[in-house]
């Protein structure tokens, strides 16, 4: 029960990693604001309620300042403040290369994926710091970046650039929140089965090619949302009380190496 008596906001909580995290936060005693722009927010809140947890749903666009303010105000009104912000909402923006990417598309991807976390920090951090002063315990902000933000090869130019920005934003904001007892970290998922990647996983299952999903990482598989959510919860908890300004890759080992000829376990690949 690491989050007993704690108030948590999760954006992009209508499905995937956000839903998994919201449910786990609630299962560990947290009171959760479930924020998403779809009806999935209501579904996640219902799941939490059915399991005996506490949640309130709110429909927001995570890249709109007034919507982020509404989510923070709801947490203050319902739960007395904010202890944790998990800025998880994001969009893919497709797979077009630089020369085929429309300016409007990259602007929209940056608005949601980078401005969204910026707004989450801007408006949640003061409330988290205030709560930290009042309770004498620290607070945390967790951002969802991506292995695509670490180096090329895991996403489109628009998506990759946005997630690289999220990693830097975690580092900069950790420094600018010095002395507040508010930590900021990012998780960098590899290939994970979410709404964003559903077509890839569905195709692989239908074609009998699931053995090819995630084959470039040493674990040779994709991840499930709960595997990412557990790392987000760790970073948000007091268990990670000395982890700050970091970007943690959760990718089955994909980003641990440059491309090389693979060696199979127990034998040499030809």
Predicted confidence (pLDDT) per residue in 80-133, tens digit: 999 999 999 999 888 888 999 899 999 999 999 999 999 999 999 999 999 999
Q: Are 48 and 56 within 8 A, CB to CB? A: no
Query: 132 φ, ψ to 5°?
Result: -65, -40
Give me the catalytic one of 159, 203, 242, 265.
159
Rounded to 5 degrees, what angle do the CA atoms 19, 35, 133 make?
105
DSSP H stretches of helix in the chain: 16-27, 40-50, 65-79, 103-110, 116-135, 157-176, 198-206, 225-236
Residue ranges per domain, the chain?
7-197+224-251
Predicted confidence (pLDDT) per residue in 132-169, tens digit: 999 989 999 999 999 999 998 888 899 999 999 999 99
7-197+224-251 adopts what CATH topology?
Rossmann fold (3.40.50)
Cβ within 8 Å of residue 68, ≥6 positions away: 60, 62, 116, 119, 120, 122, 123, 124
Q: What's the token pair of residue 258?
A: 């440059």
- Please confirm, yes or no, whether 159 is among the known catalytic residues: yes
Q: How much is the pLDDT for 206?
A: 66
């Amino acid at each position: 029960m690491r989050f007993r008596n704690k108030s948590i906001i999760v954006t992009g909580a209508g499905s995937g990693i956000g839903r998994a995290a919201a449910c786990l936060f609630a299962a560990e005693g947290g009171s959760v604001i479930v924020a998403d722009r779809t009806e999935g927010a209501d579904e996640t809140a219902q799941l939490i309620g059915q399991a005996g947890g506490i949640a309130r749903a709110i429909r927001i666009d995570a890249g709109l300042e007034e919507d982020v303010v509404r989510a923070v105000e709801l947490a203050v009104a319902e739960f007395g403040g904010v202890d944790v912000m998990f800025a998880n909402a994001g969009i893919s923006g497709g797979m077009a290369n630089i020369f085929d990417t429309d300016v409007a598309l990259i602007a929209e991807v940056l608005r949601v994926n980078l401005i969204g976390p910026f707004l989450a920090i801007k408006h949640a951090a003061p409330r988290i710091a205030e709560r930290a002063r009042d309770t004498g315990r620290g607070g945390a902000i967790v951002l969802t970046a991506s292995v695509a933000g670490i180096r090329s090869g895991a996403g489109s130019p628009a998506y990759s650039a946005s997630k690289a920005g999220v990693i830097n934003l975690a580092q900069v904001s950790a420094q600018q929140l010095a002395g507040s007892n508010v930590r900021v970290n990012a998780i960098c998922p590899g290939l994970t089965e979410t709404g964003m990647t559903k077509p890839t996983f569905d195709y692989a299952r239908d074609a009998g090619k699931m053995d090819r999903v995630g084959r470039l990482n040493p674990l040779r598989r994709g991840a499930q949302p709960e595997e990412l959510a557990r790392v987000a919860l760790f970073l948000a908890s007091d268990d990670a009380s000395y982890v700050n300004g970091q970007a943690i890759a959760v990718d089955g080992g994909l980003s641990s190496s440059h491309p090389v000829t693979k060696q199979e376990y127990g034998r040499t690949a030809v």
